[in-house]
Amino acid sequence: MSGTDTDVIDTLVGIKPGSALDAIRNRRPDARTQAQASYRALFAPESAGSITATERFAVAAFVSGLHGETETASFYAAGLAASGASPELRRAIDAAIAAAKGRGPYGSYPAGPLSREDAPGPTHCVAAETRHELGSRLAAAFDHMHLLVFHPRDAAPATLQGLLDAGWSTTDIVTLSQIAAFLSFQIRVIAGLRALAGAA
């Protein structure tokens, strides 16, 4: 993994200093630096609290793997390895990604006029064997991350209860949710800017 001062979006889009995209990003300087500050806050925080670096990168490897954006997924897989994750854990995460891929967004609305737009889809539950390898804490996080990636409008208090039951605190849940939500942003900025660069 490269250092946390290397801009992840620039690296993964392939933005070179002095290029047209470099100039465009400089017109929104805070968006550029604070997107990177968000990455640092979530993956190299000043105070890690009760979520380890391996847990943070495990969640990121899963979320980015579900998006199927190869370079970004490889970046977080490398971060996971650098955090000291065991080969067994990394294999379990690869298995979890392969079993959980899908298409989103889907989900249900409150009963009423929008019900005709309800789009059913799976509620994820990590397979028993993988659950054993991940441990109950990460497995519960992965089940919730799948919901955030593919069908966030199905969220309900019960989905958060599963995280509390697995030992995550309220503050941990805020951070886990920020990781999934931030990655949903970062991955899309990377994909979008790459398409913009490619359409020159």
Partner 1 sequence: MPDAILEPPPHTVPAVFTRALLDWLPWLEPLAVDALTERHMTALVDAARAKSDYFRLLARDPEALRARTLTDKDIFYNADAGLPRAERELAAAATSRFNGCIYCASVHSRFSATYSKREADVQRLLDEGVNANLGERWNAIVAAAVALSTTPITFGSQHVERLRGAALDDLAIADVIHAAAFFNWANRLMLSLGEPAAPAQP
| Whole-number Cα distances in Å, 17 to 36, 40, 47, 83 | 16, 21, 32, 29
Considering only residues 126 to 165 of the shown chain, the ones binding partner 1 according to CB under 8 A are: 144, 147-150, 152-153, 155, 157, 159-161, 164
Contact call for residues 173 and 160 (beta carbons, < 8 A): yes
Our finding on whether 98 is near partner 1 (CB under 8 A) is: no
Considering only residues 181 to 200 of the shown chain, the ones binding partner 1 according to CB under 8 A are: 181-182, 184-189, 191-193, 195-196, 198-199
Out of 17, 18, 87, 170, the residue judged to bind partner 1 by CB under 8 A: 170
Our finding on whether 62 is near partner 1 (CB under 8 A) is: no
Distance of alpha carbon 189 from the chain centroid: 13
Our finding on whether 55 is near partner 1 (CB under 8 A) is: no
Out of 38, 54, 83, 130, the residue judged to bind partner 1 by CB under 8 A: 38
Distance CA 190, CA 133 (A): 31
Our finding on whether 64 is near partner 1 (CB under 8 A) is: no
Out of 56, 60, 67, 97, the residue judged to bind partner 1 by CB under 8 A: 67
Out of 4, 86, 123, 169, the residue judged to bind partner 1 by CB under 8 A: 169
Give the residue from 83, 50, 52, 42 showing the smallest Cα distance to 167. 50
Give the residue from 115, 133, 120, 8 showing the smallest Cα distance to 72. 8
Contact call for residues 46 and 76 (beta carbons, < 8 A): no
